[in-house]
């Protein structure tokens, strides 16, 4: 999770090299913010690796308002998703993942679990935000989210259109990345917290029970000098093909007390006899829904 896309290179005194941070990613183009708050529209040289919003970089100014990224600094964290064919970077150097869900359109519990796994594996805190808490279906959603509260995850209910303020204390001093399906209200939250962002808000397609994609790139916004929020495009899946069995089982926090206690050392907790995880589930210590989510991940990650 801390791999570097480009070789790190120190800033050279007296050169045209400048230090900055990527605040927006548009495919192979990046908007880099400099210390004076000005920005450069940058590219990388050749076919070098991909970068992400939040990356600290060294750039060379090439023309008015333009530059070339020469190096990227070490990453403290890296959030990315993967399938069998490729990896897609989401954000770098974030301290917490904010999983935005809503009662309408219906949110995916599987996606929530996958985002929590990514947070645990990547060393980032996780916050679940139930947006649209003023709609009638919100109480049912909050009841379902008690599962995550009991696991130690923070759950915050807000109505971003009315007042996103209750979310602010959880963002102070953090670099947060908002993730979730389209239509959950990520852009509405950004607009409420930072009106100047002027992010277009998704129109919900009731017929398809899904949101219309409006954010097509990641973008970093500053709440204050120490608090930053990265908005990301809506996603329907969060691939974790880069995680093997041991990494997956450890990322389910409720599994940890029973890891190493199965009859067989190579137990994958699928259908093996003497599985301590399955026994804990049968005894009510582990949610059947969470165990099935883990098993689905293992089945999907098989070569």
Mean pLDDT, residues 38-67 taken together: 88
pLDDT on residue 45: 82
Top-ranked range on mean pLDDT: pick from 35-44, 117-126, 182-191: 117-126
Does residue 238 belong to any structural domain of this protein? no
Burial class for 7, CB neighbours closer than 10 Å (0-12, 13-18, 19+): exposed
Q: What is the rounded end-to-end Cα distance, in angstroms, of the chain? A: 21
Instruction: Write down which residue in 231, 257, 284 finishes a domain.
Output: 231
Asked whether residue 179 is domain-assigned, the answer is yes
Is 10 part of a structural domain of the chain? no
Q: Which domain holds residue 265?
A: 245-300
pLDDT at position 224 over 80: yes
Tell whether 165 and 92 lie within a shared domain: yes
Q: Among residues of the chain, what percentage have pLDDT more than 90?
A: 73
Examine the domain organization and report whether 130 and 29 are in the same domain.
no
The most distant pair of C-alpha atoms in the chain lies apart, rounded to whole Å, by 67
What is the CATH classification number for the domain harbouring 140? 3.40.50.300
* Same domain (yes/no): 67, 173: no
- My answer on whether 196 and 100 are in the same domain is yes
- b/e burial code for range 132-144 (CB count within 10 A of at least 16 → b): bbeeeebeebeeb
Of residues 274 and 65, more confidence is placed in 274
Tell me the torsion sign for CA atoms 116, 117, 119, 125: positive
The verdict on 161 and 268 lying in the same domain is no
Predicted local distance difference test score (pLDDT) of residue 41: 93
Domain boundary among 32, 55, 72: 72
**What pLDDT does residue 48 have?**
59
**Average pLDDT score over residue span 204-208:** 34
Does a structural domain hold residue 185?
A: yes
Task: Give the span between the Cα atoms of 102 and 159, in whole angstroms.
Answer: 10
Q: What is the overall mean pLDDT for the chain?
A: 87
User: In the predicted model, is pLDDT for residue 292 greater than 80?
Assistant: yes
User: What is the pTM for the complete model shown?
Assistant: 0.87
Q: Tell me: the pLDDT tens digits for 66-115?
A: 999 999 999 999 999 998 888 889 999 999 999 999 999 889 999 999 99
Map residue 245 onto helix, strand or coil.
Answer: helix
pLDDT at 277 over 50: yes
Q: CA angle, corner 40, sides to 38 and 41, nearest 5? A: 145
User: Do 62 and 174 share a domain, yes or no?
Assistant: no
C-alpha of 34 from chain center: 24
When mean pLDDT is compared across 14-23, 143-152, 178-187, 195-204, the lowest value belongs to 195-204
Predicted confidence (pLDDT) at residue 215 exceeds the cutoff of 70: no
Give the count of domains, the chain.
3
27: domain CATH number is: 2.40.50.140
189 and 272 share one domain? no
Structure tokens that stand for 5 in this block = 């896309």
pLDDT at 26: 84
Q: How does pLDDT run across 141-180, given as a tens digit for each residue?
A: 999 999 999 999 999 999 999 999 999 999 999 999 999 9
Measuring CA to CA, which residue among 20, 74, 69 is closest to residue 45? 69
Residue 27 has pLDDT above 70, yes or no: yes
In a domain, 24, yes or no: yes
Query: What is the mean predicted confidence (pLDDT) over 245-259?
Result: 97
Residues 48 and 134 in one domain: no
How far, in Å, CA of 267 to CA of 265, rounded?
A: 6
Cα separation of 185 and 285, whole Å? 33
Distances (CA, A) of 167 to 18, 158, 284: 34, 7, 32
CB hemisphere CA count around 113 (13 angstroms):
21
What pLDDT does 240 receive?
93
Q: Lowest mean pLDDT of 75-79, 204-208, 275-279, name the range.
A: 204-208
Whether 280 contacts 286, CB under 8 Å = yes
The proportion of the chain whose per-residue pLDDT surpasses 70, expressed as a percent, equals 87
């Amino acid at each position: 999770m801390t791999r570097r896309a480009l070789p790190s290179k120190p800033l050279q005194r007296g050169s045209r090299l400048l230090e900055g941070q990527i605040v927006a990613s548009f495919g192979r183009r990046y908007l880099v913010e400099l210390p004076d708050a000005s920005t450069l529209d940058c590219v990388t040289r050749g076919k070098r690796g991909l970068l992400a919003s939040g990356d600290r970089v060294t750039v060379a100014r090439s023309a008015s308002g333009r530059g070339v990224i020469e190096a990227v600094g070490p990453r403290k964290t890296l959030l990315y998703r993967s399938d069998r064919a490729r990896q897609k970077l989401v954000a770098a150097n974030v301290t917490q993942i904010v999983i935005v869900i809503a009662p309408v359109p219906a949110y995916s519990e599987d996606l929530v679990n996958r985002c929590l796994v990514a947070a645990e594996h990547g060393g980032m805190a996780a916050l679940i935000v139930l947006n649209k808490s003023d709609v009638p279906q919100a109480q049912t959603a909050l009841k379902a989210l008690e599962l995550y509260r009991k696991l130690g995850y923070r759950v915050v209910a807000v109505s971003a259109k009315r007042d996103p303020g209750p979310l602010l204390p959880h963002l102070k001093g953090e670099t947060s990345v908002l993730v979730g399906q389209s239509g959950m209200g990520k852009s509405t939250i950004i607009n409420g917290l930072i009106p100047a962002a002027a992010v277009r808000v998704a129109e919900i397609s009731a017929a398809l029970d899904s949101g219309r994609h409006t954010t097509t790139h990641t973008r970093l916004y500053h709440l204050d000098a120490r608090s930053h929020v990265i908005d990301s495009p809506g996603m329907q899946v969060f691939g974790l093909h880069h995680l093997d069995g041991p990494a997956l089982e450890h990322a389910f926090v409720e599994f940890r007390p029973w890891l190493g206690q199965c009859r067989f050392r190579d137990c994958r907790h699928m259908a093996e006899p003497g599985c301590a995880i399955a026994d804990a589930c049968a005894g009510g210590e582990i949610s059947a829904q969470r165990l099935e989510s883990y098993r689905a991940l293992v089945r999907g990650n098989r070569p």
